[in-house]
Amino acid sequence: MKIKKVKKDKAIKMPGENSCLRNRGIEYYRDDDILPAREYMDKVKVLLESLPYIKQYSGRIVVVKIGGSMMEDDSNMESMLNDLVLMKYVGIKVVLIHGGGKQITGMMKQKGITAKFIDGLRVTDREAVNIVRTVLMDEINSGIVSFLNSQEELAAGLSGADGNFINCSKKIYIKDGREVDLGFVGEIEYIDTSIIKDILDRSLIPVIATLGSDSCGNVYNINADTCASGLSIALGAKKMVLMTDVDGIMEEIDGGKRIISRLTARQCINMIEKGKISSGMIPKVKACIKALNEGVERTHILSGIRPHSILVEIFTDKGVGTMITGKDSE
């Protein structure tokens, strides 16, 4: 039977499907629907174009750090977490590290404590470290893990103090030649990656709150950018992506702000010295430089607010945000 002979009233449009013709329970294509429509060819093209990147990253570790500054908007967070789920399903071993700076400052304010920072590092006394633990683990980590696990088992949440896997000592910080007491801010001594590798081997995304502990049981707050570089190095990550609330490193040029697409380690140091990179951006560039020096292939600072910026960065040749490179010639 020719399709054309099917009466019009037998055509059934199924929700979300192509309009099709039915006769005696059999479905037929319409004449104009035998070749896939252009929109589908476009989708296939996008998939094929991402193949080289999927090949490059499949089976490799990508460490993604999300800052507290980009967590304010739930729909934005959900969209970003869904991007990570996609990355996981194409075989990338995603390790998610989160800070929670804004939320910690918010809770401290509620308790009448003023947050204090030195070069982007939070001064953390005993009371503050308890607030940091509560906010990072009870609110942020559990929120991310339950979102990821709401459809199927996708994530396992932990902090670096669990099993003492991020071993710390008290950070000695020197500013302008003088030692500054940052309180319970941890300096990473060593990271036992076996627990993270176990989670990855189970095809789960480790979601890590940036706490660490020493062998006496003291818990420390570790700057999340510093922690991301420590973990990237220890895990031999291919790429480290620091996602934040700005599009990348910016510089004022001719009265306007421009996003820098690529910066070398030396240029970054120069910008810090000139005060062009300040506050929370300092630990980020330092984290990128350390990671590059110790074997991580690529480091990026990009927006966690612009939808799908991480997918554009990984699966296309379009640069987004700022890539920090180790060598001047790169």
In the complex, least distance from residue 280 CB atom to Mg ion, rounded to whole angstroms: 4
Longest dimension (CA), the chain: 90
Give the residue, chosen from 21, 69, 205, 234, that forms a contact with ligand ADP under the rule CB under 6 A. Answer: 69
Give the tokens for residue 130: 């308890």
| CB neighbour list of residue 17: distance below 8 Å, 6 or more residues apart | none
Q: Which of 77, 99, 140, 156 binds ligand ADP (CB under 6 A)?
A: 99
Is 280 one of the binding residues for Mg ion (CB under 5 A)?
yes
Judged by beta carbon, residue 100 or residue 157, the one nearer ligand ADP is 100
Alpha-helix runs per DSSP H in 111-182: 126-133, 142-148
Residue nearest to Mg ion (CB): 280
Which of 139, 245 has the CB closer to ligand ADP? 245
Cα–Cα distance, 210 to 227 (Å, whole number): 6
Among 72, 82, 239, 100, residue whose Cα is nearest residue 154: 82
Measured from the Cβ of residue 43, the count of other Cβ atoms closer than 10 Å reads 12
Strand partners, 209: 98, 159
Shorter beta-carbon distance to Mg ion: residue 21 or 302: 302
Between residues 65 and 93, which has the closer beta carbon with respect to Mg ion?
65
Q: Given the complex with ligand ADP, which of 85 and 250 has the nearer CB atom?
A: 250
Site membership for ligand ADP, residue 321 (CB under 6 A): no
Q: What is the DSSP secondary structure assignment for residue 9, as one 8-state letter?
A: G
Counting contacts by CB under 5 A, is residue 100 touching Mg ion? no
Check residue 210 for interaction with ligand ADP (CB under 6 A): no
CB 86, min distance to ligand ADP, A: 22
Residues 101-130 touching Mg ion, rule: CB under 5 A, are 101
Interaction of residue 186 with Mg ion, rule CB under 5 A: no
Query: Which of 61, 92, 101, 241 lies at the binding interface for ligand ADP (CB under 6 A)?
Result: 101
Q: How many residues does the chain have?
A: 330
Q: How far is the CB of 303 from ligand ADP (least distance, A)?
A: 10
Query: Does residue 249 bind ligand ADP (CB under 6 A)?
Result: yes
Residue 166 engages ligand ADP in binding (rule: CB under 6 A): no
Radius of gyration of the chain, Cα coordinates, nearest whole angstrom: 24
Which one of 85, 86, 115, 250 is in contact with ligand ADP (CB under 6 A)?
250
Contact 182/121 with Cβ under 8 angstroms? yes
**Segment 219-248, which members bind ligand ADP (CB under 6 A)?**
244-246
Within 270-289, which residues bind ligand ADP (CB under 6 A)?
276-281
Confirm or reject binding of residue 131 to ligand ADP (CB under 6 A).
no
Candidates 62, 64, 68, 311; binder of ligand ADP (CB under 6 A) is 68
Q: How far is CA 240 from CA 17, 178, 203, 223, in A?
A: 40, 32, 19, 15
Place of tokens 């003088």: 178
Residues with Cβ within 8 Å of 260's Cβ and at least 6 positions away in sequence, in order, are 248, 249, 250, 251, 322
Q: Are 98 and 139 in contact (CB under 8 A)?
A: no
Decide if residue 113 touches ligand ADP (CB under 6 A). no
Q: Which residue number, 143 or 214, has a Cβ lying nearer to ligand ADP?
A: 143
Distance CA 149, CA 165 (A): 23
Interface positions with ligand ADP (CB under 6 A)? 67-69, 99, 101, 120, 244-246, 249-250, 276-281
